[in-house]
């Protein structure tokens, strides 16, 4: 197992949560510009953009070193850079770098609508590489992956802004998010189950390591959904809401780590 990839992959997913998720929240929620909630979103976007650049450069360099046999000078030569740019891994990471630059420009210009395009490009980059290219119908898998990932990053990105918001904003936006989540949850679960079925050829076998890890991930996601449901139905507006959000954040980090590990290992063959 490549331990560098196990660091860079979680970093990439964290970057996606902080960037794509934050942009999505500004589109879907009635966020008041200049509020504490909005301030946390802005910080997430800047941190996520920096993390995205680091992850994309790291993953691209790692891939070039792999095909160059560990020779750094050869890996960074024009010929190998051109070869890398023609591969799915290279194309995905080039797209991520372009998206990061565009996000940075939109942040400096203060244009919230302009950030939607690079956020969408970053989502698309995940469909250019990985399991969706190798298992089942590529177009179907890519669509399911984008939908699944879009909802997950939107969900996870709201946790820190809610924790950092003042009480009135936390309650108001928590209720608004909960109402939207009622629609998003079934779509999220359906996309996840269909992806698992596509990756495993519709044959569930828990004797395989990958499928066991996938089940653990789904259980962790179910835990987030259960806590989120409690937030919506009971905790919102009460002191325990903050503790429920902290618990949800802890489970979310577990889900991100498992997702990165699953991506790095791949389905059992």
Identify whether the C-beta of residue 35 lies closer than 8 Å to the C-beta of residue 169: yes
Decide: 46 and 96 in contact? Cβ < 8 Å. Answer: no
Half-sphere exposure of 123 (CA within 13 A, CB side): 26
Predicted pLDDT of residue 1: 45
**Tokens linked to 217:** 């991930």
Closest C-alpha among 204, 203, 205, 252 to residue 226: 252
| 43 has pLDDT over 90 | yes
Tokens of residue 165, six digits: 């918001």
Q: What percent of the chain has pLDDT over 90?
A: 36
> Of 86, 94, 29, 26, which Cα lies nearest the Cα of 59?
94
How many residues does this entry show for the chain?
269
Q: 42-51, 60-69, 103-112, 216-225: which range is least confident on average? A: 216-225
Q: Tens of pLDDT along 175-229?
A: 888 888 878 878 888 887 788 777 777 676 666 666 666 677 666 666 666 666 6
Domain ranges of the chain: 3-265
Q: Contact at 8 Å (CB) between 55 and 36?
A: no
For 14-54, the DSSP string reads: HHHIIIIIHHHHHHHS-PPTTSHHHHHHHHHHHHHHHHHHH
**What global pTM score does this model have?**
0.83
pLDDT-derived band of residue 21, with 50, 70 and 90 as boundaries?
very high
Q: Given this model, what pLDDT does residue 18 score?
A: 96
Helix (H/G/I), strand (E/B), else coil: 208: coil
Closest CA to 41 of 55, 56, 24: 24
Show the tokens assigned to 146.
């984008």
């Amino acid at each position: 197992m490549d331990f560098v990839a196990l660091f860079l992959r979680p970093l990439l997913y964290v970057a996606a949560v902080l960037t794509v998720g934050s942009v999505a929240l500004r589109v879907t929620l009635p966020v008041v510009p200049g509020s504490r909630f909005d301030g946390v979103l802005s910080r997430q976007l800047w941190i996520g953009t920096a993390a995205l650049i680091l992850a994309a450069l790291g993953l691209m360099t790692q891939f070039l070193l792999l095909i160059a046999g560990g020779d750094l000078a050869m890996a960074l030569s024009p010929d190998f850079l051109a070869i890398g740019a023609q591969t799915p891994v290279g194309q995905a990471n080039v797209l991520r770098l372009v998206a990061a630059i565009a996000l940075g420009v939109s942040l400096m210009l203060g244009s919230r609508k302009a950030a939607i395009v690079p956020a969408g490009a970053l989502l698309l980059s995940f469909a250019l590489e990985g399991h969706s290219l190798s298992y089942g119908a590529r177009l179907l898998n890519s669509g399911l992956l984008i939908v699944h990932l879009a909802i997950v990053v939107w969900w996870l990105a709201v946790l820190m802004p809610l924790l950092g918001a003042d009480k009135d904003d936390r309650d108001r936006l928590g209720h608004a998010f909960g109402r939207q989540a009622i629609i998003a949850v079934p779509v999220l679960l359906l996309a996840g189950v269909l992806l698992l079925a596509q990756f495993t050829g519709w044959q569930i076998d828990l004797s395989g390591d990958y499928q066991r890890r996938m089940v653990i991930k789904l259980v962790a996601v179910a835990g987030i959904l259960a806590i989120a449901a409690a937030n919506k139905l009971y905790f919102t507006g009460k002191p325990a809401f903050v503790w429920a959000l902290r618990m949800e954040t802890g489970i979310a980090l577990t889900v991100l780590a498992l997702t990165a590990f699953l991506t790095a290992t791949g389905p059992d063959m």
